[in-house]
Amino acid sequence: MRLKYVMSEVMVGLWRNVTMTVAMIITMAVSLFMLGASGLIYTQVKDMKAYYYDKIEVAIFLKPEITDEQRSALEGALKSDPMVREVIYESKDEAFTKFQSMFADVPAVVDAVKPGQLPESFRVGLVNPEQYQQVREAYVGKDGVDQIIDQRNLLEKIFNILGSVQTGALVAASVMAIAALLLVGNTIQVAAYSKRREVAVMKLVGASNWFIQAPFVLEAVVAGLIGAILGFGLLAVGKIVLLDGSLQDLTDLLTPLSWGKVLIMLPLMALAGTVVSSVTAWVTLRFYLRV
């Protein structure tokens, strides 16, 4: 009986102030969509780092005048280094062959370079790619070492872009969340005002506080849940239209985004939506319905 009473109060409350309810749900949906998107970018960047960092290597280019002793000393040092996972030696010839195949469709470039012009190098895979700086410092001054280049720098740029997209989404999510909070607070105040007579009588005859507050809090929770579902819908549409659609080429570069990962965002968004809206509603009521 009491549950039925509370639920019917919730529905009546949401419907009575339907324009406000819609505004609340829309802001909530957009905010949670941004939150979900930034969550997805975060996991995506993490995946990509794990995927690409395993494959990239540090290239230690050697000076043309390097002696055999220097080369074998360097190789020995690299092979016994605990930070190093593997070492591959690339001779001038190998470098040239690789170069030829890389630029096979641009013969002018290939013709301009003669065998022996490209430097020999050690291709070094690291146990932990984050330790690049330490590896660099250990070898940069060694005899025969010319330049040390980390392929990570290139990837880092991509990750920085993705990172700023994620930060942007988070900022937008927070701004929208503030708007959603204010709307929830306002909606609850309007609801409490329109039911002020009932609330006064309930307080007078000794209805418990939770019984007085539950319909209002649930109103906000229902709105938060609907917002989360709509926000998730936006996320799904975004995946279909953007990632699987017009940005298909980019998607091949990025690690694939599975539906499983997108689906995980639904409970997260629903949780964020309900917690935020119910806490706001409850706090509003603490001020508005003083016992």
Partner 1 sequence: MIQLEHVTKTYPKASRPSLDEVSVGIEKGEFVFFIGPSGSGKSTIIKLLLHEVTPNRGRVHVNGRDVTAMRSWKIPAFRRQIGCVFQDFRLLPNRTAYENVAFALEVIGKTKAVARRVVPEVLELVGLGGKEHRYPHELSGGEQQRVAVARAFVNRPLILLADEPTGNLDPDTSIEIMRLLDRINRTGTTVVMVTHDSNIVNQMRRRVIEIESGRIVRDQARGVYG
In terms of CB distance, is 55 or 196 closer to partner 1? 196
Question: Considering only 75-83, 113-121, 199-207, 239-247, which stretch makes contact with partner 1 by CB under 8 A?
Answer: 199-207
Asked if 204 is part of the footprint of partner 1 (rule: CB under 8 A), the reply reads yes
Q: Phi/psi at 85 (nearest 5 deg)? A: -90, -45
In terms of CB distance, is 119 or 215 closer to partner 1? 215
Asked if 194 is part of the footprint of partner 1 (rule: CB under 8 A), the reply reads no
Asked if 202 is part of the footprint of partner 1 (rule: CB under 8 A), the reply reads yes
> Least distance (Å) from partner 1 to the CB of residue 290?
9
Asked if 287 is part of the footprint of partner 1 (rule: CB under 8 A), the reply reads no
Asked if 7 is part of the footprint of partner 1 (rule: CB under 8 A), the reply reads no
Asked if 114 is part of the footprint of partner 1 (rule: CB under 8 A), the reply reads no
Non-local (6+) Cβ contacts of 67 within 8 A are 144
Non-local (6+) Cβ contacts of 41 within 8 A are 162, 165, 166, 169
DSSP code for 245: I
- Integer-rounded Cα radius of gyration of the chain: 30
The residue count for binding partner 1 (CB under 8 A) is: 18
Nearest to 183 by CA among 4, 11, 6, 29: 29
Asked if 108 is part of the footprint of partner 1 (rule: CB under 8 A), the reply reads no
Instruction: For residues 149 and 82, give the distance between their C-alpha atoms in angstroms, rounded to a whole number.
Output: 20
82-105 burial, b for 16+ CB within 10 Å, e for fewer? eebeebeebebeebbeebeeeeee
Asked if 5 is part of the footprint of partner 1 (rule: CB under 8 A), the reply reads yes
CB 152 within 8 A of CB 56: yes
Nearest to 179 by CA among 19, 26, 9: 26
Can you tell me which of 201, 242, 247, 275 binds partner 1, judged by CB under 8 A?
201
Can you tell me which of 15, 65, 141, 206 binds partner 1, judged by CB under 8 A?
206
In terms of CB distance, is 11 or 109 closer to partner 1? 11
> Least distance (Å) from partner 1 to the CB of residue 220?
20
DSSP code for 140: T
In terms of CB distance, is 15 or 259 closer to partner 1? 15
The residues facing 59 across adjacent strands are 123, 149
- Can you tell me whether residue 247 is helix, strand or coil? coil
Question: Considering only 114-122, 158-166, 207-215, 239-247, which stretch makes contact with partner 1 by CB under 8 A?
Answer: 207-215
Nearest to 221 by CA among 7, 38, 17, 3: 7
Question: Considering only 28-36, 42-50, 157-165, 198-206, which stretch makes contact with partner 1 by CB under 8 A?
Answer: 198-206
Asked if 197 is part of the footprint of partner 1 (rule: CB under 8 A), the reply reads yes
> Least distance (Å) from partner 1 to the CB of residue 207?
4
- Contacts with partner 1 by CB under 8 A lie at 1-2, 5, 197-198, 200-209, 211-212, 291
